[in-house]
Amino acid sequence: MINKEELENLMKIKGEVKGVVFQTDADYILKKEGEQGLKKLEKRIKELGYPIDYRKGKALDLHPIGLRVISLLLIKDTFDWSDEEIRNMGYTAPTTSFIVKLLMKFFVSFMKFMSVVPGYWEKHYTAGNLEVINLNDKTKDATLHLKDIKIHPLFCLYLEGYFERMYQLVVGKEGRCRETKCMLKGDPYHEYVLKLKK
């Protein structure tokens, strides 16, 4: 069940996110729950008083970063989805984002793409600092450190799916991503390890 106080605390988190994230949420809802599902979610968001416009919002407009998590929490609660479904939502997001499609056109090699990943994060979020660590072109292993952003476990899970799909698109093979460290568990940063499936 959604806790109103928790939602209000999320709105106090410093940082902003581009509106494109809500467009990708809407795309996923339409595919999984149809038009009626999206209307149900929009009604819920409106009743709670949060300014998320899934249909007419502009992709490059900035919104409070707390709304990113509020959207995920309300989607999970409204449709009674599992955590795995939210991870899958993150996994699907790169295939619908026009920013991702634009980047994929210009950076086709693994090494080149991974070199622009930190800047890619900045195109979506004004909070957090993403670094690429332990990059290996031969094995295609990579480790991402996400620092200075402590929001919610559901967001961590969404990102795990998101990074996994981005990785697979770049390497052109089945890969996996696991969050091995988390600031919400007392670690100094979030760590996402990317590897090819064996």
pLDDT over threshold 70, residue 108: no
Which whole number is the average pLDDT over 108-114?
78
Domain boundaries, the chain: 4-82, 93-196
pTM of the model: 0.92
3-state secondary structure of 110: helix
Which tens digits make up the pLDDT trace of 34-63? Answer: 999 999 999 999 999 998 999 888 888 999
pLDDT over threshold 70, residue 177: yes
3-state secondary structure of 166: helix
Rounded-to-integer distance, Cα 130 and Cα 29, Å? 28
Sign of CA dihedral 63, 35, 78, 165: negative
Helix (H), strand (E) at residue 100:
helix 98-106
Which tens digits make up the pLDDT trace of 130-175? Answer: 999 989 999 999 999 999 999 999 999 999 999 999 888 888 889 9
CATH 3.90.1520.10, domain 93-196, yes or no: yes
What average pLDDT does the structure give for the chain? 91
Which tens digits make up the pLDDT trace of 56-105? Answer: 888 889 999 999 999 999 999 999 999 999 999 999 998 876 556 666 65
